[in-house]
């Protein structure tokens, strides 16, 4: 499928700077571009590639001023990164979609299946399940009894959704993820053994949640573990029982959130963040990679870093001291020896 620069500019409400009739049929990184490819430039550190790229069209911000001659056709838009993302969505939506129910899929008689669905080989759908219209369940997906999927969900290969869970409209769950497995609940006994506490709740994903590959979201002990509307969760993340994550929060890979933590809306967590259990994180909190949060964050739009996590400005000031600790120790030892010699 080919598009001209003018067609793309009209779709993005942008302006063509160059040949409006030039055509593209694929997308590429600006540094790897070739004839017929569309690229974008949003980060200034990649600007030097725009003067040598082989891409036929490059999206740039409206205020971009080249420092030398540009050979390629530019399309100037309000935000090049967002515009490029919009085009990728358009390309993705144009891909052919699988339809129908494979002969090896097992669907219990009491399950209700919507229209325009795809259910792949060896998928299993349990008793009293509801699968919404336009859903795609890829091979080896397991949907436990009484689970409900909204419309237009994509459940990728090998996903396991345990019984009684509720998945909203437009959710995407990537391969290998497990939703609704037991929370880590064990009561210590007098003989130093542990008694398992039954986990009787469920997991609720509201609309337009995306969950990365090999992530686990535990069911609640009682009630629900809740992932609110628009949350984006990366790969390899552990979310424990009775956690609640607010709307439009984004969480990067290898983060762990302990039981009953309450995360506000519009938060951003870097990779390998650890959140202690039974604490609240205020709306708009930003947490740097590898931070360990042990106490509540009460003030909205706080930015923290480190373990235990502190204000990011304090953290960076402290890191300067950390780097000099060896030299400081030598000076303190030397001063100690001088004091002892003066005493003598």
Q: How far apart are CA 251 and CA 243, in angstroms?
A: 14
Q: Provide the annotated active-site residues.
A: 241
Q: How far apart are CA 245 and CA 203, in angstroms?
A: 12
Residue pair 223/241 in contact by the 8 Å Cβ criterion: no
Q: What is the DSSP string of 100-139?
A: EE-TT-EE-TT-EE-SS-EE-TT-EE-TT-EE-TT-EE-T
Provide the H-helix boundaries in 29-79: none
Q: How far apart are the first and last CA of the chain?
A: 89
Q: How far apart are CA 237 and CA 214, in angstroms?
A: 7
Token pair for 77? 């838009």
Residue pair 21/56 in contact by the 8 Å Cβ criterion: no
Crossing angle of the two packed helices 5-12 and 80-94, in degrees rounded to 10: 110
Token pair for 204? 């609720």
Residue pair 179/237 in contact by the 8 Å Cβ criterion: no
Residue 132: helix, strand or coil by DSSP?
coil
Residue pair 161/167 in contact by the 8 Å Cβ criterion: yes
């Amino acid at each position: 499928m080919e598009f001209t620069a003018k067609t793309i500019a009209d779709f993005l409400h942008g302006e063509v700077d160059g040949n409006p009739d030039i055509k593209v049929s694929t997308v590429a990184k600006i540094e790897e571009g070739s004839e017929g490819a569309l690229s974008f430039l949003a980060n200034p550190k990649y600007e030097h590639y725009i003067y040598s790229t082989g891409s036929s069209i490059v999206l740039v911000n409206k205020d971009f001023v080249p420092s030398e001659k540009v050979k390629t056709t530019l399309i100037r838009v309000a935000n090049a990164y967002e515009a490029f993302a919009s085009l990728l969505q358009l390309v993705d939506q144009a891909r052919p979609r699988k339809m129908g129910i494979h002969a090896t899929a097992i669907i219990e008689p009491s399950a209700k299946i919507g229209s325009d669905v795809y259910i792949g080989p060896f998928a299993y759908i349990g008793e009293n399940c509801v699968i919404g219209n336009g859903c795609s369940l890829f091979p080896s997906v397991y949907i436990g009894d009484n689970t409900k999927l909204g419309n237009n969900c994509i459940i990728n290969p090998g996903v396991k959704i345990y019984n009684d869970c509720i998945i909203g409209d437009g959710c995407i769950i990537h391969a290998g993820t497990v939703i609704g497995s037991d929370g880590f609940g064990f009561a210590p006994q007098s003989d130093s053994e542990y008694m398992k506490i039954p986990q009787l709740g469920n997991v609720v994903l509201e609309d337009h949640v995306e969950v990365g590959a090999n992530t686990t979201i535990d069911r609640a002990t009682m009630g629900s573990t809740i992932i609110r509307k628009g949350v984006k969760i990366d790969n390899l993340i552990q979310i424990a029982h009775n956690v609640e994550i607010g709307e439009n929060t984004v969480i990067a890979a290898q983060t762990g959130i302990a039981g009953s933590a309450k995360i506000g809306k519009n938060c951003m967590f870097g990779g390998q963040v650890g959140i202690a259990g039974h604490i609240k994180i205020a709306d708009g909190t930003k947490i740097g990679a590898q931070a360990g949060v042990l106490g509540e964050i009460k003030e909205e739009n706080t930015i923290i870093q480190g373990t235990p996590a502190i204000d990011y400005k304090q953290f960076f000031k402290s890191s300067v001291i950390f780097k000099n600790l060896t030299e400081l120790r030598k000076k303190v030892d030397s001063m100690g020896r001088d004091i002892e010699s003066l005493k003598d």
